[in-house]
């Protein structure tokens, strides 16, 4: 029989994402609603290892739904990757009386959680919170929608200056392994080309495409580049290469960087976080464990970590075709 859950712990881990606060709020409020004690751990797994925590009630999460970042802070914990680190974390949970954990983070956070849960028989539920949207067990992760809107807003502004000066801009966006942000913002902002890790466009084709658009009468262009694109040059080298081979354009580079992680979450991310975390608490109270919550076809779902983290969850390449057609 599943053990009774009287105290639930919550933490945020990995890269921070807008909407993590809305998620923490939803955990604390759902716990209060169901009369369960809620403990917040600071700095993800590192706080569990160090016993750095606070007790949370419905009032301790007031006025945070609209705030970016995470009041519990986030971290990447090297120590938790080792058996010794996880043992310290398990001992602390026992000492504090935490019966189960809700882990808000990305794929790494879930992988760590799965190992930990198996080692110490502690129920965990994963809540996908990452701007990367790179988790198979959900159509959307918390923070992704806000990041898309932040990037679109920035590219729109770059477009204003690009067209005033007849310039070509390479805009680098986040996404080391996944091109979701680049692909969707590229289409949404009307980019000339989109370079993503999943597809190697090749320098020749990029050059050809830019030449073609110049011939068709375009005086300025935007190329959205994912951090991890496979063309083999970093964004500055890329701009230099194009400037050398296409002197008609003055090529400039903007790296959007960490601004993509910040800002007040969109309504979509706040609602998503709220739905995910009420479900996470209810799953634990129902005796379920070692699953991640997700949203698939607008239904909140529970998927095993194994299934939810499976490889090969690809971007929608149809968007590349749409982009090709619309950048004519």
52 is catalytic: no
Member of 19, 43, 90, 132 binding ligand ATP (CB under 6 A): 132
Kindly indicate which of the ranges 12-20, 29-37, 147-155, 202-210 contains the residues binding ligand ATP, using the contact rule CB under 6 A. 12-20
Residue 1 near residue 31 (C-beta atoms within 8 A): no
Catalytic residue among 16, 132, 134, 229: 132
Least separation in angstroms between CB 200 and ligand ATP: 23
Residue 88 interacts with ligand ATP (CB under 6 A)? no
Backbone dihedral region for residue 33 (phi beyond 0: left; psi -120 to 50: alpha; all else: beta): alpha
Q: 146: helix, coil or strand?
A: helix
3-state SS assignment for residue 104: strand
Contact (CB, 8 A) for 260 and 151: yes
Contact mark string toward ligand ATP, 24..63, x via CB under 6 A: ---------------------x------------------
Report the C-alpha gap between 90 and 98 in whole angstroms.
Answer: 9
Which has the closest alpha carbon to 29: 63, 76, 68, 53? 63
Pick the closer one to ligand ATP by CB: 103 or 295. Answer: 103
Interface with ligand ATP in residues 232-291 (CB under 6 A): none
**From CA 224, how far away is CA 327, in angstroms rounded?**
13
Q: How far is Cα 8 from Cα 219, in angstroms, rounded to an integer?
A: 57
In this chain, which of 9, 105, 294, 308 binds ligand ATP, going by CB under 6 A? 105
Contact call for residue 109 and ligand ATP (CB under 6 A): yes
Q: Which is nearer to ligand ATP, 43 or 159 (CB)?
A: 43
Q: How many chain residues interact with ligand ATP (CB under 6 A)?
A: 18
Q: Which strand ranges, in their side-by-side order, compose the sheet holding 221-226?
A: 193-195, 221-226, 167-173, 250-255
Q: Give the one residue of 12, 21, 70, 77 binding ligand ATP; rule: CB under 6 A.
A: 77
Which residues have CB under 8 Å from 205's CB, separation 6+?
Answer: none
Residue 233's alpha-carbon distances to 36, 45, 238, 309, in angstroms, are 52, 35, 6, 29
Q: In whole angstroms, give the CA distance from residue 281 to residue 31.
A: 7
Angle at 79 between CA 77 and CA 83, to 5 degrees: 130
Place of tokens 């499976």: 310
Q: Segment near ligand ATP (CB under 6 A), from 34-42, 56-64, 102-110, 146-154?
A: 102-110
Among the residue ranges 93-101, 111-119, 208-216, 295-303, the one whose residues contact ligand ATP (CB under 6 A) = 111-119
The helix (run of H) or strand (run of E) holding residue 306 is helix 305-308
19 touching ligand ATP, by CB under 6 A: no
Q: Please, what is the minimum distance in Å from the beta carbon of residue 212 to ligand ATP?
A: 36
Among residues 19, 68, 108, 197, the one that binds ligand ATP under rule CB under 6 A = 108
Query: Where does this chain touch ligand ATP (CB under 6 A) — which range of 104-112, 161-169, 190-198, 314-322?
Result: 104-112
Residue 79, both tokens: 């120590």
Q: Which of 12, 13, 184, 323 binds ligand ATP (CB under 6 A)?
A: 13
> Which of these segments, 8-16, 152-160, 193-201, 272-280, binds ligand ATP (CB under 6 A)?
8-16
* Tokens found for residue 44: 């993800």
User: How far apart are CB 270 and ligand ATP at their closest, in Å?
Assistant: 19
CA 191 to chain centre: 22
Q: Which stretches of the chain bind ligand ATP, using CB under 6 A?
A: 13-15, 45, 76-77, 80-81, 105-109, 111-112, 115, 130, 132
Catalytic residue ranges: 132
């Amino acid at each position: 029989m599943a053990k009774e859950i009287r105290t639930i712990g919550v933490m945020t881990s990995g890269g921070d994402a807008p909407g993590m606060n809305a998620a923490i709020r939803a955990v604390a409020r759902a716990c209060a609603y169901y009369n369960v004690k809620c403990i917040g751990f600071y700095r993800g797994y590192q706080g569990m290892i160090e016993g750095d925590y606070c007790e949370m009630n419905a009032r301790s999460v007031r006025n945070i739904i609209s705030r970016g970042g995470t009041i519990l802070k986030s971290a990447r914990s090297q120590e938790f990757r080792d058996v010794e680190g996880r043992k310290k974390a398990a001992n602390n949970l026992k000492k504090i009386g935490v019966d189960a954990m809700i882990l808000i983070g990305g794929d790494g956070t879930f992988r760590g959680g799965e190992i930990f849960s198996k080692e110490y028989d502690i129920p965990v539920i994963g809540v996908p919170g990452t701007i990367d949207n790179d988790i198979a067990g959900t159509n959307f992760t918390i923070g992704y929608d806000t990041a898309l809107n932040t990037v679109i807003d920035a590219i729109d502004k770059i477009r204003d200056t690009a067209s005033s000066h007849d310039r070509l801009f390479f805009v680098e966006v986040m996404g080391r392994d996944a091109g979701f942000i680049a692909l969707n913002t590229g289409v949404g902002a009307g980019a000339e080309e989109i370079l993503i890790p999943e597809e190697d466009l090749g320098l020749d084709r990029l050059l050809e495409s830019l030449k073609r658009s110049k011939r068709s009468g375009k005086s300025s262009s935007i190329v959205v580049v994912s951090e991890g694109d496979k063309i083999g040059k970093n964004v500055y080298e890329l701009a230099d290469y194009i400037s050398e081979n296409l002197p008609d354009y003055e090529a400039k580079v903007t790296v959007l960087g960490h601004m993509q992680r910040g800002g007040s979450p969109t309504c979509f991310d706040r609602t998503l976080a709220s739905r995910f975390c009420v479900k996470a608490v209810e799953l634990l109270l129902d005796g379920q464990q070692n699953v991640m919550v997700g949203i698939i076809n607008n239904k909140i779902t529970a998927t095993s970590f194994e299934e939810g983290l499976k490889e090969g969850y690809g971007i929608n390449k149809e968007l590349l075709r749409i982009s090709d057609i619309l950048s004519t």
